[in-house]
Structure formats: C-alpha cells, structure tokens
Amino acid sequence: MTTKPEQSQQAFLHEAKATLGLTWDELAEQAGIAPRALKNYRMPDRSQNHRGMPSLARRAVQQLLDAHAQKNRRKAA
C-alpha cells in the first residue's frame, strides 16, 4: 500500500490498521508511537483533539506496511 497524496491522515491510519490486522494499541506499539498520540493522529481533521502526524511517525507506519506487503509477495512467489 502506498500513501495517496489526497488520502487523509485518518484514512491512511485506518487503512494501515485494516491491512495489518492490528488493534490500535498493537499498531502504536509496532510503529513506536504512544497510543494516546496515535489516537490524536487518527481523529478527524475538524476534531479539537486532532494532531498532525509527524513525518517520522508516518514513515514508521509506512515501513510496517511495506514489510507486510513484501512478506505477502514472498508467500505468493
């Protein structure tokens, strides 16, 4: 899965969670993000509690997705 430029932060995180088959806490732990911070990152943009996700955190989630995709490609081969 690659991040689409028009994809919201919230959509990116929800898609990552579904793709990886993890709970929110598991996603936070595996990405090295505090669970409370991840909760704020996944809030709708208009929410008072929404926080922009730092590029380092987004990269950590993307690395999990990339590793998952690579593992699935190996299984299919």
Domain boundaries in the chain? 9-76
pLDDT of residue 74: 85
pLDDT of residue 76: 83
- Residue 12: name the closest of 68, 58, 63, 69 by CA: 58
- Residue 68: name the closest of 10, 16, 25, 32 by CA: 16
Prediction pTM value:
0.86
- Residue 53: name the closest of 1, 7, 2 by CA: 7
Question: What does the pLDDT look like over 28-44, one tens digit per residue?
Answer: 999 999 999 999 999 99
Where the chain has pLDDT below 50, the residues are none
pLDDT of residue 4: 53
Tell me how far apart the alpha carbons of residues 22 and 15 are, in angstroms, rounded to a whole number.
11
Question: Does the 9-76 domain belong in CATH 1.10.1220?
Answer: no
Alpha-carbon distances, residue 49 vs 3, 43, 44, 52 (angstroms): 23, 7, 9, 10
pLDDT of residue 11: 96
